[in-house]
Amino acid sequence: MIKIYLSRILGEKRLTQAELARITGIRPNTISEMYNELSERINLDYVDLICEALDCEVSDLLEYKPNKKKRTGKYLIKEK
């Protein structure tokens, strides 16, 4: 699973979601989805803009954590 630490970083920087949206030009809805870890996909341009605006590294914003239940290999559920 991919963890998104946008809420933590915004708290540390004392910035609101609305301020980040204004600074980056990213839609507030998109910022909110990332903030609440509801995003299924993340645009790499947005990651770039957010890292630039918050003066952070991608690894500060995103982290891979192994899934408790495997989803690849013999566990892969193929689309029909």
For 4, residues 6+ apart whose C-beta sits below 8 A from its C-beta are 34, 35, 37, 39, 42, 61, 62
24: closest CA among 35, 40, 39?
35
Note whether residue 43 is domain-resident: yes
pLDDT band at 57 (very low <50, low <70, confident <90, very high): very high
State the total domains in the chain.
1
Position 67 scores a pLDDT of 82
In a domain, 71, yes or no: no
Residues 6+ away with beta carbon under 8 Å from 51: 57, 58, 60, 61
pLDDT at 35 (0 to 100):
97
Query: Is residue 28 a part of any domain in this protein?
Result: yes
Q: Which domain holds residue 37?
A: 2-64
Whether 7 is in a domain gets the answer yes
List the CATH number of the domain containing 46. 1.10.260.40
State residue 46's pLDDT score: 98
Instruction: Answer yes or no: is pLDDT of 49 > 90.
Output: yes
Does 11 map to a domain?
A: yes
